[in-house]
Amino acid sequence: MEHLIFRLAVALAIGLVVGVERGWRERKDPPGSRTAGVRTFALIGLFGGVTAALADALKSPAVLIAASLAITTVFAGFKYREMVKDKDYGITGLVAAMLVFALGALAVAGDPAVAGAAAIAATGLLAAREMLHGLVARLTWVELRSALVLLAMTVIVLPLLPNRTIDPFDSINPRQIWLFMVLTATISYAGYVAVKVAGPEKGILFSAIGGALVSSTAVTIAFARRAAAGEPAPLLAGGAALAAMVSLLRVLAICMVVAPGLVRTLAPPALAAAICFAAIGAVMLRDAKGAKGESALGNPFDLGPLAAFAAMFGLVSGVSGFLLKAVGPDSIYLVNAVAGIVDVDVPSLNAARLAGGALSMEGAALAILIALGVNAAARVGFSAAAGPPGFAARLGVATAIAGVGAVGVLVLARGL
């Protein structure tokens, strides 16, 4: 009996939670002018629970089915009259009532914890109506397409890929490569959303931080070209330094998800370099107050860059697998140094994938640091080729200080 009373209380609470949201939304309407409020939804939840208990006691699911059809028919009839009166075509209230009945029944006949969690999620969705409608109104086709591509990559393609190596060097795992691509794409999309929410008027700051979630190298080259076109080099160099900081933190975050054991060796020097880049970038931005820039974060889900990422990741994985078998574990350092010239994600993810297996945790962390260092130096070279000397010099100084800080912390950590 106590067990049943608890489950019925959960069913009643489910109706109350949804009913409070429904009642709050219609709080300005006069009493009796709406089909259902707090009490009605609470009773519907309890009705679902009692019906499920009766169906179980009588060993007849037909009781539950008949009660479900009855409450839906009655509620729909009253809701129809309300819709005619208000000239409204929304059926959210009807669906909510049906869901409350079903969750009330689930609380008694199934798992009350799951039913309660579903009720909270449904209430949150109902309460977020204005926010969701506003989001849909501001959503562009490119953003919708990107979200759908990300969902398709995750829900459709990922489960279909074989979760095993397919090359003779035991290094190319299609599902693993795709999973890393989904992870990188998700972080890139988060950066895109952050830039859009903040607004383009934030200029250089959000261009650097948001763009670095896609590619700090691309941000650096773009800023260098803008500096060459006459925009303030100190401001743009400060933005490039902040992009370098974000790149380090992004790689560190990804590696923490893929191989948490890397944190002990990788985090201290990476964070030291990130702090140096952040401090120098902030100083340069402060000294260049008054300058303006435009945010130009591109779509991170173009199929071309995604395919190139997968191809490069597969190539680096295959080459590293060959070198690891032919030469030994030390070859990964050469692979990461070469790949780091143009990208940090691929060599970093490849080393993280091998951590604890073909490579020790310390060896994988060192390989990632090599890729980060080479990429930082390459960005200075790219900026010198694409931008004015003042831009490259400022970024070079910031990179040198960050490198010294990282090496110093790494040596100190190893000494301890």
Q: Report pLDDT digits (tens) over 116-166.
A: 999 999 999 888 877 777 767 776 777 777 788 888 888 888 889 888 878
Residue 311 sits in the same domain as residue 333:
yes
Residue 318 sits in the same domain as residue 236:
yes
Range of the domain at 47: 2-134
- Nearest C-alpha neighbor of 258 from the set 349, 197, 169: 349
Mean pLDDT of the chain: 80
Lowest mean pLDDT among 21-25, 110-114, 276-280: 21-25
pLDDT at 247: 87
Residue 146 sits in the same domain as residue 113:
no
Residue 53 sits in the same domain as residue 120:
yes
- Nearest C-alpha neighbor of 410 from the set 375, 377, 356, 362: 362
pLDDT at 47: 93
Which residue, of 134, 167, 189, is where some domain finishes? 134
Q: Is the pLDDT of residue 200 over 50?
A: no
Which residue, of 134, 157, 190, is where some domain finishes? 134
Residue 124 sits in the same domain as residue 152:
no
Residue 316 sits in the same domain as residue 387:
yes
Residue 116 sits in the same domain as residue 228:
no
Residue 331 sits in the same domain as residue 270:
yes
- Considering its fold, how many domains does the chain have in total? 2
pLDDT at 118: 92
Decide which of 224 and 317 is more confident. Answer: 224
Lowest mean pLDDT among 1-15, 195-209, 229-243, 316-330: 195-209
Q: How far apart are CA 184 and CA 186, in angstroms?
A: 5
Residue 231 sits in the same domain as residue 335:
yes
pLDDT at 324: 63
Which residue, of 134, 158, 189, is where some domain finishes? 134
Q: Is the pLDDT of residue 2 over 80?
A: no
Q: What is the pTM of this model?
A: 0.53
Residue 324's CB is within 10 A of a number of other CB atoms, namely: 21
Residue 63 sits in the same domain as residue 38:
yes
Residue 124 sits in the same domain as residue 236:
no
Residue 254 sits in the same domain as residue 363:
yes
pLDDT at 104: 93
